[in-house]
Amino acid sequence: MPSTEVVIAKKFNNLLRPLQVHINRTTVLAGELAEIHGVDTNACELAASTHDLFRSEPDFAQISTAERYGIPIGDIEAGIPMLLHGPNAAAWLENEAGLTDNRVLEAVRWHTFGSPEIDDVGKILYLADKLEPGKVIADPSLEPIRQMAESHPDKALLELLEKRLENQVSKSLQVHPYTLALIENLRSD
């Protein structure tokens, strides 16, 4: 059986270039933030380098992959199947690539919604995914939050989640209960 690294590399190599660039930028920032905050650099970089392996799968593939791995498909995911790309990637990494580090799997699984159970690896991935240079160039209002991620990561995380909440509410989109629970936790800290 090919190694975990080889299986992951094969999947990565099939992605379109812009997605590869985003993944690589996220991995660099995840490594930097992990270093600053004393979090396991290898775990954060592995989570970042695998988090979007299913990001560009079409809707029907998101649904069929989720069904194959027994991932629950709620109303929110049924409406926007792309939102399954985190859980799908985590299930694929565990089942097809033999990845066993639970911190990495959970970080990948919840990188879109966030989770009330999020740990340091999950937080670093969430921050790096939303604050890598490509994202800040596209939305310069993120720059202060990117700086905050270096000094006050939980505060930066809360700012990003509140931005997401605001955005979803303004579009009348349903907000995932995990996102709300995480915001609640961070607000009460």
By CB under 5 A, name the binding residues for Fe ion: 52, 129
- Closer residue to Fe ion, CB minimum distance, 23 or 97: 23
Nearest distance from residue 188's CB to Fe ion, in Å?
Answer: 27
Helix (H) or strand (E) holding 19: helix 17-37
Distance CA 45, CA 125 (A): 8
Q: At what angle do helices 85-95 and 102-109 cross, to 10 degrees?
A: 150
Q: At CB < 8 A and 24+ separation, what contacts does 32-41 make?
A: 33/124, 33/127, 33/128, 33/149, 33/150, 33/153, 34/124, 36/150, 37/120, 37/124, 37/153, 39/120, 39/121, 39/124, 40/103, 40/120, 40/121
Nearest distance from residue 54's CB to Fe ion, in Å?
Answer: 8
Nearest distance from residue 160's CB to Fe ion, in Å?
Answer: 13
- Closer residue to Fe ion, CB minimum distance, 57 or 129: 129
- Closer residue to Fe ion, CB minimum distance, 52 or 94: 52
Distance CA 184, CA 123 (A): 15
- Closer residue to Fe ion, CB minimum distance, 26 or 189: 26
Nearest distance from residue 12's CB to Fe ion, in Å?
Answer: 13
Nearest distance from residue 189's CB to Fe ion, in Å?
Answer: 25
- Closer residue to Fe ion, CB minimum distance, 120 or 129: 129
